């Protein structure tokens, strides 16, 4: 009787296991190579700014914010303004704008006492020096998200002759404007009461 040849283990399971391991490794590498949401500006300190929120898409409303999407100065996704609802204060500013520096403490104080009654957002407008914009926001403790409008997309809807402009957005998404610098904390608080019905 002719002896049977020694059994040769099937290569199929080994190949399947090997390919599976390679695929898993590739997935892990790919996932690991995706950084957390990085600041658009890519400048030092931008990661210390408050990240922009993920905003639920909403249909635009008559008299509401424009259908303009702007990137975040810090980390976070682009924000489509038309998706935002209030009560919300949007301040259009630039680090090269002296009146913006004058009114910054009022906005910082508003953020401190707003709690969950009110949200604040900034728009850095046509600013050629993003590193100075980041430093401006940090130095003035503007601890709320900031968007970047490098191409004057909000100029017409917000009637921006030059910053600052403050936008008051109600809960329906409609907005009113205050063009020019805020002159006192009392003025800002009063505008919030009158335009948004929020008592601080």
pLDDT tens digits for 115-169? Answer: 999 999 999 999 999 999 999 999 999 999 999 999 999 999 999 999 999 999 9
Average pLDDT, the chain: 85
Domains of the chain: 46-196 (3.40.30.10)
2-41 per-position pLDDT tens digit = 454 444 444 444 433 434 443 333 333 333 333 344 455 5
Q: What's the pLDDT score for residue 200?
A: 87
Q: 10 Å Cβ neighbour count for 146?
A: 26
Closest CA to 80 of 100, 101, 111, 59: 59
Residue 93 has pLDDT above 90, yes or no: yes
């Amino acid at each position: 009787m002719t002896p049977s040849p020694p059994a040769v283990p099937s290569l199929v399971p080994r190949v399947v296991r090997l390919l599976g391991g390679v695929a898993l490794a590739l997935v892990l590498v790919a996932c690991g190579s995706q950084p957390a949401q990085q600041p658009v500006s890519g400048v030092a300190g931008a990661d210390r700014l408050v990240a922009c929120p993920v905003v639920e898409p909403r249909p635009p409303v008559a008299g509401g914010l424009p259908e303009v999407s702007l990137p975040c100065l810090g980390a976070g996704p682009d924000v489509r303004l038309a998706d935002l609802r209030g009560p919300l204060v949007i301040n259009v500013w630039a680090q090269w704008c002296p009146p913006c520096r004058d009114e910054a403490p009022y906005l910082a104080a508003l953020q401190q006492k707003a709690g969950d009654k009110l949200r604040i957002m900034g728009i850095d407008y046509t600013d050629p020096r993003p590193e100075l914009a980041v430093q401006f926001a940090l130095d003035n403790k503007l601890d709320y998200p900031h968007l970047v409008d490098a191409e004057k997309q909000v100029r017409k809807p917000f009637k921006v002759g030059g910053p600052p402009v403050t936008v008051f957005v109600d809960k329906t998404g409609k907005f009113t404007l205050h063009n020019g610098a805020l002159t006192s904390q009392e003025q800002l608080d009063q505008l919030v009461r009158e335009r948004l019905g929020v008592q601080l």
